[in-house]
């Protein structure tokens, strides 16, 4: 399942510096002539396709990017210094369009591809530029040209990296709301979620992944029980499944272990490849367990499930354990991601964005 991640940003290239009008004043030298230098060019704004990024979430935190202006020209033949350029790193596949007209300006297709998205203004001419045989003392100078300023809409079609799997009411939608920008409906009745929701999780600057919340799965789904199991196809291209289990079911008669086993059986019936994907156990609603029984109850669930992989104890409601889960998921995704990428040469000159505001 694809969804479109979007961001709108303002970019401003630097204005050019003004040209200077000045005359050479030196001892014993009369009529020294014009020596006003040109202004420096304003900084450009570039977009660079970076294969290690997979969402546009960073552009929702910083929305405005301005390159420096060029310096003004000075006397004694001094040209203004050009303004520094800035480079905005974007995921491969980003479509850059003019926000007002909708016109597509660029599509970043190759890792390392770099395009200019706002051109710095040229510096103005100093008066030394206007010197001629007929005008030996020109006073003309021109101001610098303005840098381009525009509002851009960025769009990226993203695929989910991680899928949430579990019984209705396990807390899948609560978790995606806690960790991502998605705000699906949450309620204490089963089958609240009828369609998959995708959310972008920002782990840190330039570190993010996409998570998919799907409807609840129940025993017999392969025969059409509940909402069936067709929606599981949305998880087929993910790299990791989080199996959410409610460890404190409201109904005392419900056994979390039996529920978890039923989910795994349904998964296998749907698709062997999905069943074979890495799957981590996420025990949710630990806030509902009495403190003195918590460790024992969790140990019991893990033991009876004969589960050997990573186990997380969380409360999607209070957010306990969610930060750790997010960090571990990101490490896993980033590793799979880089392992599957061909090596690319990115011109190191363009990688440093430390000067970006
Ligand atoms: N106490 C507690 N309640 C939780 C927790 N996580 C979710 N809930 C509650 O459990 C109920 C179900 O949560 P949802 O997030 O809608 O569950 P879901 O897995 O998305 O359910 P479906 O969409 O029906 O499949 C809601 O009333 C939530 O407030 C938790 O960690 N602790
Ligand atoms: Mg839900």
pLDDT digits (tens, 9 = 90+) for 252-307: 888 999 999 999 999 999 999 999 999 999 999 999 999 999 999 999 999 999 88
* Residue ranges making up the domain that contains 15: 1-156
Q: Is the CB of 288 under 6 A from ligand 1?
A: yes
Q: Which two tokens stand for residue 172?
A: 């899948």
Protein residue whose Cα sits closest to atom 11 of ligand 1? 188
Q: 122 and 88 share a domain? A: yes
Nearest ligand atom owner, CA of 170: 1
Same domain, 47 and 80: yes
Cα torsion 59, 64, 68, 70 to 10°: value is 120
In a domain, 174, yes or no: yes
d(CA 322, CA 284): 10
In this predicted model, what pLDDT tens digit does every residue of 211-255 receive, in sequence order?
999 889 888 888 887 887 888 888 888 899 999 999 998 888 889
Whichever domain contains 65, its CATH number is: 2.70.210.12
- 310 and 282 Cβ atoms separated by less than 8 Å: no
User: What CATH number is given to the structural domain containing 295?
Assistant: 3.40.50.300
Closest atom of ligand 1 to 216 CA is: 25
Question: Is 302 in the same domain as 180?
Answer: yes
User: Cβ atoms within 10 A of the Cβ of 211, count?
Assistant: 26
Last residue of a domain, one of 122, 137, 156: 156
Q: Is the CB of 193 under 6 A from ligand 1?
A: yes
From ligand 2's centre to the CA of 234, what distance in Å?
15
Of the candidates 128, 156, 184, which is a domain's last residue?
156
- 179 and 322: one domain? yes
- Reference 181, options 3, 22, 342; nearest CA is 3
- Beta carbons of 132 and 49 less than 8 angstroms apart: no
Q: Is 196 in the pocket of ligand 1 (CB under 6 A)?
A: no
Q: Are 145 and 260 in a shared domain?
A: no
Instruction: Report the pLDDT averaged over residues 24-50.
Output: 83
**Best mutation site among 171, 286, 314 for ligand 1 pocket (most ligand atoms within 8 Å of CB):** 171
Range of weakest confidence among 26-30, 130-134, 234-238, 318-322: 26-30
Q: 232 alpha carbon to ligand 2 midpoint, in Å?
A: 14
On whether both 92 and 211 belong to a single domain, the answer is no
Q: Examine the domain organization and report whether 110 and 133 are in the same domain.
A: yes
17 falls within a domain? yes
**Domain-embedded: residue 355:** no
**Residue 357 resides in a domain:** no
Tell which of 121, 156, 191 closes a domain.
Answer: 156
Number of domains in the chain: 2
Kindly state whether residues 202 and 129 are assigned to the same domain: no
- Once rounded to an integer, what is the mean pLDDT over residues 36-63? 88
Do residue 284 and residue 226 come from a single domain?
A: yes
Residue 356 lies in a domain: no
Three-state DSSP at 7 gives strand
Judge if 206 and 326 occupy the same domain. Answer: yes
**249 alpha carbon to ligand 2 midpoint, in Å?**
16
Q: Verify whether ligand 1 is closer than 6 Å to residue 190 (CB atom).
A: yes
């Amino acid at each position: 399942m694809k969804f479109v991640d979007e961001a709108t940003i303002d970019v401003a290239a630097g204005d050019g510096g003004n040209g200077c009008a000045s005359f050479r004043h030196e001892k014993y030298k009369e009529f020294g002539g014009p020596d006003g230098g040109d202004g420096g060019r304003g900084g450009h704004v570039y977009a660079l396709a970076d294969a290690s990024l997979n969402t546009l979430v960073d552009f929702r935190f910083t929305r405005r990017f301005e390159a420096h202006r060029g310096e003004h020209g000075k006397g004694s033949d001094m040209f203004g210094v050009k303004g520094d350029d800035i480079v905005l790193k974007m995921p491969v596949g980003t479509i850059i369009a003019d926000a007002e007209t909708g016109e597509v300006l660029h599509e970043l297709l190759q890792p390392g591809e770099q395009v200019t998205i706002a051109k710095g203004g040229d510096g103005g001419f100093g008066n030394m530029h206007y010197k001629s045989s007929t005008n030996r003392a020109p006073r003309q100078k021109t101001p610098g040209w303005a840098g381009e300023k525009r509002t851009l809409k960025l769009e990226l079609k993203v695929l989910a990296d991680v899928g949430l799997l579990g019984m209705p009411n396990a807390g899948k939608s609560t978790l995606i709301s806690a960790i991502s920008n998605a705000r699906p409906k949450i309620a204490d009745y089963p089958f609240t979620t009828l369609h998959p929701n995708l959310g972008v999780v920002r782990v840190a600057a330039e570190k993010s992944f996409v998570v998919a919340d799907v409807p609840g799965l129940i025993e017999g789904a392969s025969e059409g029980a509940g909402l069936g199991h067709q929606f599981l196809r949305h998880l087929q291209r993910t790299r990791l499944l989080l199996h959410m289990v409610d460890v404190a079911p409201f109904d005392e008669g419900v056994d979390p272990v039996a529920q978890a086993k039923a989910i795994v059986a349904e998964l296998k019936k749907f698709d062997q490849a999905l069943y074979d994907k890495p799957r981590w156990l996420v025990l949710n609603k630990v806030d509902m367990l009495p403190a003195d029984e918590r460790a024992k109850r969790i140990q019991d669930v893990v033991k009876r499930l004969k589960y050997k992989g990573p186990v997380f104890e969380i409360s999607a409601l209070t957010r306990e354990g969610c930060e750790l889960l997010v960090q571990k998921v990101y490490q896993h995704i980033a590793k799979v991601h880089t392992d599957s990428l061909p090596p690319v040469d990115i011109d190191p000159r363009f990688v440093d964005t430390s000067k970006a505001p």
